[in-house]
Every structure is written in structure tokens, then in C-alpha cells.
Homo-oligomer: A and B are copies of this chain.
Amino acid sequence: MSALSRIGVAIDSDLLEKFDALIARKGYTNRSEAFRDLIRDELVEKAGERPDAAVVGTVTLVYDHHVRMLSEKLTDIQHEAFHHVLSTLHVHLDHDHCLEVLVLRGKSAAVRRIADMLISTKGVKHGRLVITSTGAEL
């Protein structure tokens, strides 16, 4: 954690009023925190574009566990990528469907490649990757 800077920002009063209303709806109690979140979101977005950036990613998968050999295939991919897979959460959505969230860590390109492999596996109905930060650089 670094020292705190206090900077001045000039904003048209109308615009500020709209921003304050928006962040209140979102649950912010502190305007500076809302600004910091805008900045951090922008930085994470940019960092994720570099293939060699150190990132953390979460992959959300929804699949039908009745599909033959699907769990085995997903497990195989994870084991081959075990250096990058930190942890996995499994939720039973209904009689047929599972949701799995994996936390991956590594270079952006590697994280994307593993996510692509999981999402493209037959039987996975929907998948999405979120690229976020290791926290240290934010």
C-alpha cells in the first residue's frame, strides 16, 4: 500500500450530480472510491490486452454432467494446466446442470488458452472468462 495522494478534479456541476446519483444507486458511500474503481477497471482492461501480463482469471462454465466423459475431459485439461489452476468451485444447478468456476493464474495468453480449451469442450453449454489482476499492481 502506497501513500495517498489528494488531487483536485474539475467537473461540470451537472455531470457531477449525475455521477453522484449513479454511484449512489450502485452502493458507493464514497466518491473517491468510485473514481478509484473507474481507474482500476481501465488499468485491468489494458493490462489484460498484453499477452505476457501476469493476470488472474476466473472461468465460468455451465455444463450438463450427463454428457459422457465430460467431467473426465474437463478434469484432464485442468490437470495438464495444473500450474495455472489455483482452485475450482462446483455448484449443482439442477438435476442435469453443473456450474464450475475455476481460478487461473499466469500470463494472459496462457490463461486465455486454457479458458478457450475448457469452453470449447463438447457438452459445455456456456463459458466466459474474466481477466482480473493479482491485486498487487492496483
Interfacial residues, chain A to chain B (CB-CB below 8 A) = 1-16, 18-19, 22-23, 25-44, 46, 49, 56, 58, 60, 62-64, 66, 86-89, 91, 93-94, 96-99, 101, 103, 105, 116-117, 119-122, 124-128, 130, 132-138
The secondary structure that dominates the A interface is mixed
Copies in the complex: 4
User: Known contacts being A99-B56, A101-B103, A103-B89, is A15 close to B41, with CB within 8 Å?
Assistant: no
User: Known contacts being A12-B2, A13-B2, is A125 close to B40, with CB within 8 Å?
Assistant: yes
* CB contact between A134 and one of B14, B23, B29, B97 (< 8 Å): that residue: B97
User: Known contacts being A2-B14, A34-B120, A116-B26, is A134 close to B19, with CB within 8 Å?
Assistant: no
